[in-house]
Amino acid sequence: MSIRPLSERVAERAREWGVAVEEGLETHSSFVAFGRRGGRAVVLKVLRGPGDEWRCGEVLEAFAGRGAVRVYEQVGGAVLMERLRPGTPLTRVTLDGRDEEATEILAEVIRRMSRPAPPPEGTVTVEEWGRGFGWYLASGDSQIPRDLAEQAQDVYAGLCASQRGVRLLHGDLHHYNVLLDDERGWLAIDPKGVVGEAEYEIGAALRNPFERPEVFATPEAVERRVRRYEAELKLDAGRALAWGFAQAVLSAIWGIEDGFTVDDRSPTIMLARAIRPML
């Protein structure tokens, strides 16, 4: 796919959707513009290129504002959304020492997002994401101990084969992707979109806030969080725990694919080792 320069596509979307851009910021994956359309504050997000979030507008539309930011316009690689104010990330709650409260908020967001429309055609499945294990084990890389990667692959495959009630999931629902709005409460942003069972959705939250592994990468923290999700969402705690273990290793594999270094001090590996004896 040939992609025109990002600046051209931002200008085109702003023009086509009638957005007066007031300020913007660049991230590693996108350009995010803040502005107004008519009398309404909006956010225009344009992706740099195809990737996990390329169809985030379609995914958000399927949630129809239930637990997620509202979409006004979307095409592949670009989405126009409501602006959330003050936009405080849920990370703040956990880092203020209120992780139990943050977990309850995440559970409520998941509950509100639990009845989406059918997934957009061609939405990736958790089985497809699991191909990363095969890539890693065939790569010859040794940053992740082979026995850990092989166990995670086996656990992940077993979970995939025994899923129940699969539906559209956010796919990357963690503390950084849940923001506070004064009027609508806590809302999810930036979905990747994946088809899987509800227990899969917990995995990203278990390994965040990423920069503070001491908050989440202990058996005690994992047990407390998983039991809270079980109580609030009536999930299968054993399956959520197993998904959390396998996804932590898969996330480390994705980091290696993206050029990052992984070792025993990496938060994802620390979490996987914390959960491993609990399986």
Q: What is the pLDDT of residues 238-260, one digit of tens each?
A: 999 999 999 999 999 999 999 99
Whole-model pTM: value is: 0.96
DSSP output for 52-69: TTTTHHHHHHHHTTSSB-
- The answer to whether residue 3 scores a pLDDT higher than 90 is no
Q: Which amino acid is at 17?
A: W
Structure tokens at 78: 């670009």
Taking each helix axis as running N to C, give the angle between helix 267-275 and helix 146-161, from 0 to 180 degrees, rounded to the nearest 10: 70
Domain with CATH 3.90.1200.10 in the chain: 87-278
Domain with CATH 3.30.200.20 in the chain: 6-83
Q: What is the pLDDT of residues 137-181, one digit of tens each?
A: 999 999 999 999 999 999 999 999 999 999 999 999 999 999 999
Kindly list the strands in the beta sheet with 185-188, ordered across the sheet, starting from the edge strand earlier in the chain.
Answer: 86-89, 178-181, 185-188
Instruction: Give the residue carrying structure tokens 């609990």.
Output: 278
Active-site positions read 172
Q: What is the pLDDT of residues 31-55, one digit of tens each?
A: 999 999 999 999 999 999 999 999 9
- The answer to whether residue 1 scores a pLDDT higher than 70 is no
* In the chain, beta strands by DSSP E: 20-26, 30-37, 40-47, 71-75, 78-82, 86-89, 167-169, 178-181, 185-188, 194-196
Q: In 3-state terms, what secondary structure has residue 93?
A: helix
What's the pLDDT score for residue 46? 98
The CATH architecture assigned to 6-83 reads: 2-Layer Sandwich (3.30)
- The answer to whether residue 209 scores a pLDDT higher than 70 is yes
The pair phi, psi for residue 29, each rounded to 5°, is: -120, -10
The pair phi, psi for residue 260, each rounded to 5°, is: -90, 155
What's the pLDDT score for residue 4? 86
Structure tokens at 262: 């992984």
87-278: CATH topology = Aminoglycoside 3'-phosphotransferase; Chain: A, domain 2 (3.90.1200)
What's the pLDDT score for residue 2? 63
